[in-house]
Amino acid sequence: MPPGPGARSLETPLLTEDLRRGVREVCSRFPDEYWRDLDAGRRYPEEFAAAMTEAGYLGALIPEEYGGMGLGLSAGCVILGEVNRSGANAGPAHAQMYTMGTLLRHGSEAQKRECLPKIAKGELRLQAFAVTEPEAGTDTTSIRTTATREGDDYVVEGRKIYISRVKQSDLMILLARTTPLEEVEKRSSGLSVFLVDLKEAEGLTVKPRRVMMNNATSELIFEGMQLPAGNIIGEEGEGFRYIIDGMNAERILIAAECVGDGRWFVEKATERAGAREVFGRRIGENQGVQFPIARAYANVEAASLMVEKAASLFDRGEPCGAEANLAKLLAADASWEAANVAVQTFGGYGFDAEYDVERKFRETRLYQVAPISTNLILSYVAEHVLGLPRSF
């Protein structure tokens, strides 16, 4: 059931190094100027996504029988970490990896045979995952988007907000309520997951929202959008469990990106501190400049160990909820600390688009908030790991 138990292991250092080298080679064809231009024009990295697909990396976690590489989550972490470490933004790659996981783990054989080989070849993009709503926010079981069965279809009504890459995807995973909240025993029951063919969708309005970084994000308005009943993933009413189930993978993958970002910031700051001369000496000769970089380095490397631990547990099919959450928390904090240190080390140049630090600073800031905010992880750790009383 890759990603997860059964996926090809990446325990051998040789395989890891090969993978790392291969990803670096693809990334080297997309220098800083490429990402800077995309950022300025708020464009999707079409060329990068095509190159990553062609090299097989976007389908890395798809099993070999469906045309992918059949690698595990540890491999996904190496890929995404290297992408972000190169100065790029792995958004399209990570979305495809964890969004595809929902289909892979819970989709019917027919759905998998229909979609996965095309996703692996790059003929179909599944990079949109619609959960968040304006009213419910972090409280996912309060979502109000409904999917009501009418004959052979479900009819969808409601709104979603900040949904990434809808205009750049062919398919989208949608979470909607199929049984009203008042009629279920547990709030988490009565939610279902659907595969939406975005090219066919009628009754769906997509309104782009400009956000801090180059992440195509939209508001979605569903007004009687019809979905064939066969587009449900897994069983009706079990959708919340499927979404939760994918969250460990998502958190670990994004934590790996944060480590990649952190390493990029530390490398840039170190380079700058060693080269920039002020008061007749290199700024890096001052411990006031050195120490924050050294501390950021220590925190990024420590976070990286937790990411490796979480990914390795995941790949062995062992419980990893605590480690996945800790990895995301520590890595997001470490990358954000490293981002601040890089801006400080660059001084005014840290704010200048030509030096790329400000772009990466904006990009890594997201991970304090999405896909899960730092507070919610702390709450998970307090309640589920430490056994403290439930607070909400």
Whose structure tokens read 């937790």? 306
Alpha helices in the chain (DSSP H): 13-28, 32-41, 46-54, 73-85, 91-106, 109-121, 239-275, 287-315, 321-346, 357-365, 374-380
User: 137, 180, 208, 228: which one contacts ligand FAD (CB under 6 A)?
Assistant: 137
Q: Is the four-CA dihedral 262, 267, 268, 273 of positive or negative sign?
A: positive
Q: Which residue stretch of 193-201, 301-309, 344-352, 363-371 sits at the interface with ligand FAD (rule: CB under 6 A)?
A: 363-371
DSSP class per residue in 281-344 = EEGGGSHHHHHHHHHHHHHHHHHHHHHHHHHHHHHTT---HHHHHHHHHHHHHHHHHHHHHHHH
Give me the least distance between CB of 131 and ligand FAD, in Å please: 3
Give me the least distance between CB of 63 and ligand FAD, in Å please: 24
Nearer Cβ to ligand FAD (26/326):
326
Nearer Cβ to ligand FAD (161/322):
161
Give me the least distance between CB of 213 and ligand FAD, in Å please: 7
Could you tell me the two tokens for 92? 């399209």
Nearer Cβ to ligand FAD (24/209):
209
Contacts of 261 (CB under 8 A, 6+ apart): 84, 85, 335, 338, 339, 360, 363, 364
208 to 267, contacts with ligand FAD by CB under 6 A? 211, 215, 217
Q: Which residue stretch of 26-34, 44-52, 128-136, 222-230 sits at the interface with ligand FAD (rule: CB under 6 A)?
A: 128-136
User: 77, 83, 100, 131: which one contacts ligand FAD (CB under 6 A)?
Assistant: 131
Cα distance from N-terminal residue to C-terminal residue, the chain: 33
User: 369, 381, 382, 383: which one contacts ligand FAD (CB under 6 A)?
Assistant: 369
- Amino acid identity of residue 2, one-letter, is P
Is 117 among the residues that bind ligand FAD (CB under 6 A)? no
User: 142, 205, 286, 375: which one contacts ligand FAD (CB under 6 A)?
Assistant: 375
Residue with nearest beta carbon to ligand FAD: 137
User: 177, 178, 366, 367: which one contacts ligand FAD (CB under 6 A)?
Assistant: 366
Give me the least distance between CB of 348 and ligand FAD, in Å please: 27
Nearer Cβ to ligand FAD (178/217):
217
Give me the least distance between CB of 144 and ligand FAD, in Å please: 13
Contact in structure between 190 and 179 (CB atoms under 8 Å): yes
Contact in structure between 131 and 243 (CB atoms under 8 Å): yes
Q: What are phi and psi of 324, to 5 degrees?
A: -65, -45
**CA 373, CA 366: separation in Å to the nearest integer?**
9
Give me the least distance between CB of 245 and ligand FAD, in Å please: 16
Contact in structure between 24 and 84 (CB atoms under 8 Å): no
Radius of gyration of the chain (CA): 21
**CA 197, CA 289: separation in Å to the nearest integer?**
52
Q: Which residue stretch of 129-137, 144-152, 326-334, 337-345 sits at the interface with ligand FAD (rule: CB under 6 A)?
A: 129-137
3 state DSSP class of 11: coil
144 to 183, contacts with ligand FAD by CB under 6 A? 162-164
Torsion-angle region of 267 (φ positive above 0: left; ψ -120 to 50: alpha; else: beta): alpha
User: 74, 132, 192, 345: which one contacts ligand FAD (CB under 6 A)?
Assistant: 132
User: 24, 46, 138, 235: which one contacts ligand FAD (CB under 6 A)?
Assistant: 138
Give me the least distance between CB of 382 and ligand FAD, in Å please: 10
Contact in structure between 99 and 107 (CB atoms under 8 Å): no
Nearer Cβ to ligand FAD (315/358):
358
Residues making contact with ligand FAD (CB under 6 A): 129-132, 137-138, 162-164, 211, 215, 217, 366, 369-371, 373, 375-376, 379, 392
